[in-house]
Structure 1
Amino acid sequence: MRIVKRRTILLIALCVSLGFFLGYKAFVKPEKSKETWVVPNIQNISKKFITEETLVNEIHQKQELITLEIDMTEKVILDDSWGSLGIFKKVQSVNYAGTGIYTVDLSNLKAENINIDDKAKNVMVNVAPPAVKTVSIAEDKTEYQTPENGLLRFGEIKLTLEENQMLLSNVKDKMLKKMSEQDFTSQARNSSEKTINTLIQSIIANKTSEPYTIQIQFQ
């Protein structure tokens, strides 16, 4: 009889404890409704926005951007006449062909030179203006005209190595001077603006599908 009573008491105690526990779970601490959420596509997170630093890092890979090449000619008249008499005249024209290159230095571009307005979808970039990089003479395209010789003069005018080097140096100086003229510098600026615009547009396209307007300003 004592064993039965003990079992009965334990069973009653267990039922009471279970009742308190279920009541606490049901009324005192109800479970919150479960929320369903989707993990975003991590690979596309970086393509939702762009930053100044991102653009700078990408642009710096170009360092020096060639924005315009122009072909030029410079006419030089060689005069090896003896005096002023026509019979001793010896004159020859040479049309030197050359190519001039304009570049924009992007190595000094910093984050403060770029302003991104995400609301207006606008990017403003301040860069150094295009500058003349080099001028090269295309000797294979240089044309030597037939000499104008007097009755007592024959053949073409022959230059020594030193004379030829001095002449080429003079031709390059004239071409460099020509490249600093307003017409050529305007072409260089327009071409540089288009080239940099295309470069930045391609960078932005890899980061976001949102269309941005690019404004280039030369410092």
Structure 2
Amino acid sequence: MTETAIHEELQNIIEKSVDQSVDRAFKKYGKISRRPRFSLRGLISLLVLLALIGTGVYVYQRSQASDAVAPVEDHDLTLENNGIFGFTVADFEEPILGEATRQRLLIVEEQEVYVNTTITDTGLFHWGVFNKQQALTIHGTGQYTIDLTQITADDISLNEDTYELTIRIPHAVLYKTIFDPSKTEIGDAQNGWLAFGSIKLDAEQQKEFEVTAEQELKTRLSEKECLEEADRFAKLSAYETYQPIVKTISPAYKVIIEFQ
């Protein structure tokens, strides 16, 4: 027997076996007037067709899901040239620049400092033997701010690849110096050999002393290390101010603070 004849014989045997199984099923669960003839080749073709249809539906659903972009509530997204929905820098400029109308000056830090100084009473005829000198430690507070009105649209930039919004702010400046006389510490007195008693200031001398003390505190607060510390707090304060504003527009973007 040839190979073709053997193949046809095996196929007939398999088809006959399938038909017998179907006949037994119908005898057991009920007869029908007409029974279609099943073949193994038809059954395999049907299974392959169903598999192809299922694969096509899955691929289509996956492609639809990947293209879907959920818009941010109450915000119109802009369709970029690359076909992906995203934001432009203009979407952020108005609310960021508008913050200056709510609070022009942003207080970023209050530093407490002290300065060692002395006051002198020259005494009679301004002779050294009558001089009285008192060592003092004065205390005060410096208030540092940044001016939000100095931030313009040119100070705002957007990186769509890293989802970062950069805002460039001015450096912190010393806005106010406050002298606290209640914290003044009195040190040792150094008097001339003909000077007796402690220094007593009248109202005018006390006023002059407070002006001098405030100026010495201001000089201390304007030193490089104090301004550098104020700048560190300026970045932090600016971030805490602008990050919530940016988040209301797009939670995906992070604020980066730099100096102008």
Q: Same fold (TM over 0.5)?
A: yes
**Does residue 45 of the first structure (1) align with residue 74 of the second (2)?**
yes
Aligned residue number for residue 22 of structure 1:
none
Aligned residue number for residue 26 of structure 1:
none
Whole-angstrom distance in 2 between the partners of 1:77 and 1:158: 14
C-alpha contact 2:108 2:230 (8 A) present in aligned 1: yes
Whole-angstrom distance in 2 between the partners of 1:76 and 1:181: 17
**Does residue 69 of the first structure (1) align with residue 113 of the second (2)?**
no
Q: Give the SS at the match of 2:73.
A: helix
Change beyond 3 A, Cα 1:115–1:145: same
Whole-angstrom distance in 1 between the partners of 2:192 and 2:76: 76
Whole-angstrom distance in 2 between the partners of 1:42 and 1:126: 28
Given candidates 213, 236, 239, the residue that maps to 1:197 is 239
Whole-angstrom distance in 2 between the partners of 1:170 and 1:47: 58
Q: CA deviation at 1:58?
A: 3.1
Whole-angstrom distance in 1 between the partners of 2:171 and 2:101: 16
Change beyond 3 A, Cα 1:69–1:204: same
**Does residue 160 of the first structure (1) align with residue 198 of the second (2)?**
no
Amino acid at match of 2:138: Y
Amino acid at match of 2:95: T
Whole-angstrom distance in 2 between the partners of 1:53 and 1:119: 22
Whole-angstrom distance in 2 between the partners of 1:59 and 1:209: 22
Aligned residue number for residue 19 of structure 1:
none
Q: Give the SS at the match of 2:233.
A: helix
Amino acid at match of 1:167: F
Query: What is the total number of aligned residue pairs between the two structures?
Result: 176
Which structure is higher in helix share? 2
TM-score normalised by length of structure 2 = 0.59
Identity score, percent: 23
> Cα deviation per residue 1:48-70 (whole Å; 9 max; x = unaligned)?
76421122223542210111211
C-alpha contact 2:105 2:146 (8 A) present in aligned 1: yes
Amino acid at match of 1:54: P
- In structure 1, list runs of 5 or more residues that go unmatched: 1-40
Q: CA deviation at 1:187?
A: 0.9
Whole-angstrom distance in 2 between the partners of 1:168 and 1:111: 43
Whole-angstrom distance in 2 between the partners of 1:53 and 1:178: 38
Q: Give the SS at the match of 1:46.
A: coil
Q: Give the SS at the match of 2:74.
A: helix
The answer to which of 133-142 and 196-205 deviates more is 196-205
